[in-house]
Amino acid sequence: MDRQHPTPQPTVGRFAPSPTGALHFGSLVTAVGSYCLARQTGGKWLMRMEDLDTPRVVPGAADEILWTLEALGFEWDEEVLYQSRRTDRYEAALERLREQGRIFDCGCTRKEILASAPHPGEEGPVYPGTCRHGLAAGRRPRALRVRVPEEKVCFADGLFGAVEQHLVSAVGDFVLRRADGLFAYQLAVVVDDAECGVNQVVRGADLLSSTPRQVFLYACLGWPPPRFVHLPLALAPDGEKISKRHGTLARGDLQEGGGSLCRALRFLGQQPPAGLDLAPARDVLSWAIAHFDLKRVPSRSRPAEG
């Protein structure tokens, strides 16, 4: 093989919704972006249901999401992966980290962490390291955490550019298995993307601050990290990230064919011709794959209509 010009790896992208409700405009934006960026290089696009957080899973939501995506003309490669059926894989990864001496039992309750955290972190209080060197006598193990390094974690985002984070001060030793026994998103997402050969992760900018934790786990597990592209978030009029609470894509919306896809494309700075709004969804997606340009995507999260 030519060392100077190695054959580029075909892109493997994915969409990984949490089935906590039906698809909404914000998740459609992510689906469109990740689909176009995978398909325009002839790459694969995988589908994964992030249904590990069982208390939040809504029965029927996974099928509803798949139905909606199909109605909008999306096609995925391979079988849909359900995280809830892959817990043995997360256990195996945890075991490898355990062998490396990186994880520890933590006996702290949420309340205790809040009371002793040095300062508020990226997502709630920073773990102060209480159980890092062993559980105090009489403490019951609750969550499993991984020790984070002193060095900053850096990666290059396809839209936001160079990102770095000092895990110790931003989050502290973070949870890989929760006190209720459920595997944490941070671990599952890394194991799944790595084991499925995903080399391009395109998702919402709300996960930008999680990515350094994931890049760190890739390094611990000896896997190359994928390319990351974080897309701007569609905000509701109240300035919050659009969620299922702000309304989902109703079956009626889908009858307008490509209209919702065109809205998502415009939100991502693309310029579908006006006539395309009335075209069948499949035609909009074909146009989008051929014309999607990451350079046009604004990084600023903003209201959906604007």
58 scored as a contact of ligand GLU (CB under 6 A): no
Q: Which of residues 107-136 bind ligand GLU (CB under 6 A)?
A: none
Nearest distance in Å: CB 118, ligand GLU: 28
Site size for ligand GLU, by CB under 6 A? 7
18 scored as a contact of ligand GLU (CB under 6 A): yes
Nearest distance in Å: CB 21, ligand GLU: 10
Interface pick for ligand GLU out of 81, 207, 254, 289 (rule CB under 6 A):
207
In the complex with ligand GLU, which residue's Cβ is closer, 174 or 287? 174
Nearest distance in Å: CB 241, ligand GLU: 9
The candidate with the shortest Cα–Cα distance to 143, out of 172, 179, 117, is 179
37 scored as a contact of ligand GLU (CB under 6 A): no
| Interface segment toward ligand GLU; rule CB under 6 A; list 16-24, 121-129, 134-142, 143-151 | 16-24
The end-to-end CA distance of the chain, in Å, is: 48
Interface pick for ligand GLU out of 50, 53, 173, 253 (rule CB under 6 A):
50
24 scored as a contact of ligand GLU (CB under 6 A): no
Residue partners of 193: CB distance under 8 A and separation at least 6: 14, 201, 226
203 scored as a contact of ligand GLU (CB under 6 A): yes
Interface pick for ligand GLU out of 16, 57, 113, 242 (rule CB under 6 A):
16
Q: Distance between CA atoms of 170 and 117, rounded to whole angstroms? A: 11
In the complex with ligand GLU, which residue's Cβ is closer, 50 or 253? 50
DSSP per residue, the chain: --SSSPPPPPPEEEE----SSS--HHHHHHHHHHHHHHHTTT-EEEEEE----GGGPPTTHHHHHHHHHHHTT---SSPPEEGGG-HHHHHHHHHHHHHTT-EEEE---HHHHHHH-SSEETTEEPP--TTTT-PPTTPPP-EEEEPPPSSPEEEEETTTEEEEE-HHHHT-SEEEE-TTSPBPHHHHHHHHHHHTT--EEEEEGGGTTTHHHHHHHHHHHT----EEEEEPPEEPTTSSBP-GGG----HHHHHTTTHHHHHHHHHTT----GGGGGS-HHHHHHHHHHH--GGG-----EES--
Nearest distance in Å: CB 131, ligand GLU: 28
Site string for ligand GLU, 243-282 (x = CB under 6 A): ----------------------------------------
86 scored as a contact of ligand GLU (CB under 6 A): no
Nearest distance in Å: CB 104, ligand GLU: 25
Site string for ligand GLU, 140-179 (x = CB under 6 A): ----------------------------------------
Q: Where does this chain bind ligand GLU (CB under 6 A)?
A: 16-18, 50, 189, 203, 207
